[in-house]
């Protein structure tokens, strides 16, 4: 039997520490409770939203006039050649667990905030590796039909920070099987530690933020590409340039709207310096997009999802 709470503040469930209340809030710990919560939403004709780690989400100051389902199933089964883990599993904890067993392939994802379910949905990744590179299969619940379906990697239709599940919100990730290689536990753990250290170097102030706010944009201007490659001494990957470099190029570090600010340490981090509202973060994001568009002709698109905004903010 699920417990349905009313008017639950959502800010504590997000890394931004921003957002109004959920009209209804349900913590779901297994498939049965998830189905029960979805039935409640359907019977009352209420919108619903799945909430994982809240690490890639901006919730409006008015909150969400529907049902928020907090994913709390996080069982992990280590296998000889990989791992099977439920959607609510913390991604960094999972990387640490598999590395300790000498299972390699996820080290560059150490320190990525959020859950495995969110990582699969958004094809999360860093430093040249993404979840699609290690994914074997995904088990999902189709909220419209009530059926549990298994997708192979090809069926997930992964793209840059996207997947079939992100484009079809009725498909709710339950668990994923990851295929990993056998290696040295000591070397794998050291690589994971090094990745986390690199991340911390960009974010030593531990401000409230969601990490990268914008996706790395596709850039076609040869002058911008040439400048990036010359300055950074690296190649532009698949036509994409880091959004942080683009934003910094326009001189937007420390730019503020109220208590929302572009981080001094990493220009693709929009941070809550204390008491920031969702409206301030949204206005800052729009300011950044407009300045970049005007100066470089580059279109930035949010990696972060928006919830509860009117009019509805659609992510690509």
Mean per-residue pLDDT, 161-188 = 96
CA gap 247, 300 in Å, rounded: 9
Let me know if 161 is a catalytic residue. yes
CA gap 126, 161 in Å, rounded: 11
CA–CA distances in Å: residue 153 to residues 41, 116, 119, 137, 230? 30, 15, 14, 6, 36
Residue with tokens 């049965």: 32
CATH topology of domain 76-186: 3.30.465
CA gap 164, 149 in Å, rounded: 13
CA gap 175, 76 in Å, rounded: 9
C-alpha closest to that of 298 among 212, 217, 215, 216: 217
Sign of the dihedral defined by the CA atoms of residues 258, 58, 162, 105, in that order: positive
Regarding predicted confidence, which is higher, 213 or 207? 213
Least confident of 41-55, 199-213, 225-239, 300-314: 199-213
The pLDDT of residue 163 is: 97
Please check whether residue 65 is in contact with residue 308, taking contact to mean a CB–CB distance below 8 angstroms.
yes
Regarding predicted confidence, which is higher, 87 or 237? 87
Catalytic residue among 212, 249, 263, 302: 212
Least confident of 7-21, 59-73, 301-315: 301-315
CA gap 10, 51 in Å, rounded: 10
C-alpha closest to that of 51 among 82, 33, 28, 74: 28
The pLDDT of residue 181 is: 96
Let me know if 207 is a catalytic residue. no
Rg (CA), the chain: 20
Mean per-residue pLDDT, 29-58 = 97
Catalytic residue among 15, 60, 121, 161: 161
The pLDDT of residue 71 is: 98
Catalytic residue among 255, 280, 302, 303: 303
Three-class DSSP category at 23: strand
Which helix (H) or strand (E) segment is 152 a member of? strand 148-152
Let me know if 303 is a catalytic residue. yes
pLDDT of 19 over the 90 cut:
yes
pLDDT of 204 over the 60 cut:
no
Please check whether residue 168 is in contact with residue 145, taking contact to mean a CB–CB distance below 8 angstroms.
no
pLDDT of 307 over the 70 cut:
yes
Domain-by-domain residue ranges, the chain?
A: 4-71, 76-186, 208-307
pLDDT of 316 over the 60 cut:
no
Buried b (16+ CB within 10 A) or exposed e, 210-235: bbbbbbbbebeeeebeeebeeeeeee
CA–CA distances in Å: residue 108 to residues 161, 219, 234? 16, 25, 18
Three-class DSSP category at 78: strand
pLDDT mean across residues, the chain? 94
pLDDT confidence band for 238 (50 / 70 / 90):
confident
Return the CATH class of domain 208-307: alpha beta
Return the CATH class of domain 4-71: alpha beta
**Dihedral of the CA atoms 299, 305, 310, 316 (nearest 10)?**
40
65-113 per-position pLDDT tens digit: 999 999 999 999 999 899 999 999 999 999 999 999 999 999 999 999 9
257-289 per-position pLDDT tens digit: 999 999 999 999 999 999 999 999 999 999 999
Regarding predicted confidence, which is higher, 112 or 200? 112
CA gap 255, 247 in Å, rounded: 10
């Amino acid at each position: 039997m699920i417990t349905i709470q009313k008017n639950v503040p959502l800010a504590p469930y997000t890394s931004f520490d921003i957002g109004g209340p959920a009209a209804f809030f349900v913590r779901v710990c297994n498939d049965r409770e998830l189905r029960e919560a979805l039935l409640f939403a359907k019977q009352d004709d209420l919108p619903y939203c799945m909430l994982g780690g809240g690490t890639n989400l901006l919730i409006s100051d008015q909150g969400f006039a529907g049902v928020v389902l907090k994913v709390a199933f996080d069982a992990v089964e280590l296998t000889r050649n990989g791992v099977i883990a439920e959607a609510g599993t913390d991604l960094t904890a999972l990387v640490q667990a598999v590395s300790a067993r000498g299972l390699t392939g996820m080290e560059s994802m150490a320190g990525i905030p959020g859950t495995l379910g969110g990582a699969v949905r958004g094809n999360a990744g860093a430093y040249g590796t993404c979840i699609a590179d290690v994914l074997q299969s995904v088990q999902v619940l189709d909220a419209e039909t009530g059926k549990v379906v298994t997708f192979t990697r090809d069926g997930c239709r992964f793209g840059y920070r996207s997947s079939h599940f992100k484009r079809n919100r009725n498909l709710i990730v339950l668990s994923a099987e990851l295929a990993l290689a056998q290696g040295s536990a000591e070397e794998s753990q050291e690589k994971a530690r090094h990745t986390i250290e690199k991340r911390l170097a960009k974010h030593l102030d531990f401000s409230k933020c969601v990490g990268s706010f914008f996706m790395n944009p596709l850039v076609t201007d040869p002058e911008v590409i040439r400048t990036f490659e010359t300055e950074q001494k690296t190649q532009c990957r698949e036509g994409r340039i880091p959004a942080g470099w683009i934003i910094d190029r326009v001189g937007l570090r420390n730019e503020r709207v109220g208590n929302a600010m572009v981080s001094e340490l990493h220009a693709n981090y929009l941070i809550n310096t204390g008491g920031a509202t969702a409206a301030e973060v949204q206005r800052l994001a729009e300011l950044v997009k407009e300045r970049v568009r005007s100066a470089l002709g580059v279109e930035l698109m949010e990696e972060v999802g928006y919830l509860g905004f009117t009019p509805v903010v659609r992510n690509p």
